[in-house]
Chain A
Amino acid sequence: MDPLPSGPSPLVALVGNPNCGKTALFNILTGSRQKVANYAGVTVERKEGSLLTPSRKRVRILDLPGAYSLDPLTPDEQVTADVLLGRRAGETQPDFIVCVTDATNLRQNLRLVLSLKRLGLPMVVALNMTDIARRKGIVIDAQRLSLELGVPVVETVGVKTKGVQALIKVLDGTAMPVPARPPTPATWSPLSAADIEHDQAEVRRVLGLVGGDRIDGVTFSDRVDSVVLHPVLGPLILAVILFLVFQAVFSWAQWPMNAIRLGVAAFGDWLGAALPASLLKGLLVDGILAGVGSVLVFLPQIIILFFFILVLEDTGYLPRAAFLLDRVMGAVGLSGRAFIPLLSSFACAIPGIMATRTIQNPRDRLATIMIAPLMTCSARLPVYALIIGAFIPHRTLWGGLELQGVVLFGLYILGVVGAMAVAFVIKRGAAGSGFHALMLELPAYHWPNLRNLALGLWQRVEIFMSRVGTIILALMVILWALSSFPAPPPGATGPPIQYSIAGHLGAWLAVVFAPIGFNWQISIALVPGLAAREVAVGALGTVYALSATGNDVSGALTPLIAQSWSLPTALSLLAWYVFAPQCLSTLATVKRETNSWRYPIIMAAYMFGLAYVGSWIVFRVSTALIGVA
């Protein structure tokens, strides 16, 4: 093998309108050699990958966020413009631009090409989705297009490995500048309306010459939209799709979740039997394994939910859902665009909050961020499942509905209603600034691409697993230490944990939480639950396992709490979990996203207040009702 070239590799930026197939092209070019991170100071996703060309040249490829113009309106577009102009701190100006265009939508895409040309950086136009265009009968003369635009044009098919050969050849070729190129003094003067009109005239002229100047009458997407966006049928279809997604998240996930639960328990038993009784064994079995295992069981649900979100996104349905919900969202002052972040928040608020960057209006965006944690994330599920399993009887209601399922659904609704109320108050209290735009592109429908789907899913799994392996693991160790030290004094009669730091902390917190019906075990579990909600179940397990004589953490918990908690306590805890800000990672994301401590602090305060008041009402009312009955 030839030695790899040394020295800096050239940096190629992929630029294009949203929905031009840019990310699919990026996935084909870089395969799994991708690094997903954030741009410094903002939570705009930064995707970089690398490509080894046939002549063994290493090329770095940066997938810039989609943009409609170089005069930015969103944080995404700001990043794209700044990077291209070489004025983003911590980013080097790209050596080469690949402008990705959708061959079926050149009328829109070519304006960006004309803008990019003004930057003066070396560039090539990738004429993407040529296969779809050909099927529609659109044949574009790439050579003529290149001649008219004055930049090289290559045809690509962003979903096939063979479809990018021509582009790789260009990246490999001698046309690539040496990386030691002195930085171009980047100048950009914002386009006026007249400039944009002028550009469009040029686009029309070019399209007329290359054969792309065709506007179809009623397209396939139009026919689908006449049903999917129908005022009556559309919302019905949306409701059915959402119902199916939730059904899948809760029923398909059962089998793998049980497998993980049983596997972890079996491993714990084996480890418990194999190791001699010691401090280390306690840490491994009671601390780490029981705790991490209780979080790991969510992996199947997260995979299934993100699978559906990615499929709906890839087919083009998600923006349609935003269209259908815009009026409802608008009633509480949100944009239809808030739908996608809020839907993601049902899996986890963190990707949800990160997805708010597609909302242009800062106020709308902030309101969406503030209510995202009220969506019932999957981390709340184990707590709900535990309490519902222990306190709500298995009973079939009229119509074949199951009481436990109805209660779970009610908790989801409570979260949504709470979120809408909070959004309404936020938008009421704050004077509107800027305009509340929708302006959402509804891309043509197409089949989801398996490779993109798999890569997207894998990236979500990686994020979740790294969270389990870092923050959650560390917290489990800390919690175990808090509940194990100091050891009980000789001759002590109570369970050991009562004498530990956690026991004292719980006793103190129990005073605060007594009015809403929480005992000291719950109060202890709420402390690590602050770091990640799902940890509370593991913590309860740890608290009860350590305070009981037995070693079986997961199995014993349900009957244990059914015995030791009253029904009002259980209901109060459920209400607490609907509203309480129990995830430090979410607050950290909000801090990063809003670039200020102000909003995470406001969020924590309002959610604590809401949770305390909500739990207090639930506890008092249910106590009174049970007392009466």
Chain B
Amino acid sequence: MLTTSPAGQAHPGPTDISLNDLGLGMPARVVSIAAADASTPVELGRRLAELGFLPGEAVRVVARGLMARAPIAVRIGTGTFALRLFEAACIRVCPEQPQPA
């Protein structure tokens, strides 16, 4: 499995994980957008924010690819986006307990 080093600089909380490590279908909330490493360009984080990956928004992994489980399809709010792993690595999320219906 492909692992990413969570070298995020901003708000590394005790419970937040990389979006890449979130299980399929598990509800979570975005905690922060942080560059995964120094080579990540500024525009990437900004575009993720423009697409709606903003702190507090509900997020869920809808599907994963076959090879190295990439890319991933992510529901953010009411929209769905396909992301590559290095893009998803910038998104720190906090898993929520599945709410009983």
Contacts and interface: CB of A to CB of B under 8 A. Distances in A.
Determine chain B's interface SS by DSSP, over half rule.
mixed
A193 B33 contact: yes
Interface string A225-247: 11001111011000000000000
Interface in A423-470: 434-444
Given A197-B49, A435-B40, A222 B75 contact: yes
A322 B101 CA distance: 34
B53 to A, nearest CB: 10
Interface in A70-104: 71, 73, 104
A105 interface: yes
A215 interface: yes
A396 interface: no
A204 B78 CA distance: 12
Interface string B10-48: 000000000000000000000001000000110111111
B65 A326 contact: yes
A440 B81 contact: yes
A107 B63 contact: no
Interface residues of B, number: 40
Contacts of A235: 66
B33 A231 contact: no
B82 A327 contact: no
Nearest to B75: A222
A326 B84 contact: yes
A318 to B, nearest CB: 12
A193 B46 contact: yes
Interface residues of A, number: 47
A322 B56 CA distance: 29
Contacts of A108: 51-52, 77-79
Contacts of A234: 63, 66
Contacts of B79: 105, 107-108, 441
Given A71-B50, A105-B79, A327-B67, A225 B73 contact: yes
A226 B63 contact: yes
A399 to B, nearest CB: 27
A442 B73 CA distance: 8
Contact of B62 (A68, A222, A324, A438): A222
Contact of B65 (A217, A319, A324): A324
Nearest to A195: B49
Contacts of B45: 193
A434 B82 contact: no
B9 to A, nearest CB: 13
Which residue, of A193, A217, A326, A436, has the highest number of chain B Cβ atoms within 10 A? A193
Contacts of B43: 73, 434-435
B81 A442 contact: yes
Contacts of A254: none
Interface in B53-101: 54-58, 62-68, 70-71, 73, 75, 77-84, 86-87, 101
A436 B85 CA distance: 11
B51 A323 contact: no
Contacts of A104: 78
A327 B70 contact: yes
Pick from A204, A232, A234, A327 the residue with the most CB of B within 10 Å: A327
A111 B101 CA distance: 30
Contact of A442 (B40, B65, B80, B87): B80
Interface in A291-349: 319, 322-324, 326-327, 330, 336
Contacts of B83: 438-439
Contact of A215 (B47, B68, B77): B77
For B49, B57, B86, the residue with the greatest tally of chain A CB atoms inside 10 Å of its CB is: B49
Given A197-B55, A231-B66, A73 B47 contact: yes
Nearest to A70: B50
A429 B58 CA distance: 41
Given A71-B46, A319-B82, A438-B71, A107 B77 contact: yes
Nearest to A331: B67
B54 A438 contact: no
Given A73-B43, A108-B51, A442 B78 contact: no
A69 interface: yes
Nearest to B43: A73
B50 A69 contact: yes
Contact of B66 (A215, A319, A327, A434): A327
A334 B81 CA distance: 18
27 contacts: A68-B50, A105-B79, A106-B78, A107-B79, A108-B79, A111-B50, A197-B49, A200-B54, A204-B56, A215-B77, A221-B80, A225-B63, A225-B80, A229-B73, A230-B63, A231-B64, A323-B65, A324-B65, A326-B70, A327-B70, A435-B86, A438-B71, A438-B84, A439-B48, A441-B82, A442-B82, A443-B80
Given A323-B71, A326-B82, A438-B82, 18 more contacts: A69-B50, A71-B50, A73-B47, A108-B51, A108-B77, A108-B78, A196-B49, A196-B54, A197-B49, A204-B56, A215-B77, A221-B80, A222-B75, A231-B66, A435-B41, A438-B71, A439-B83, A442-B80
Q: Which 9 A-B pairs have the closest CB atoms?
A: A229-B63, A231-B66, A107-B77, A442-B80, A323-B82, A69-B50, A440-B82, A327-B67, A438-B84
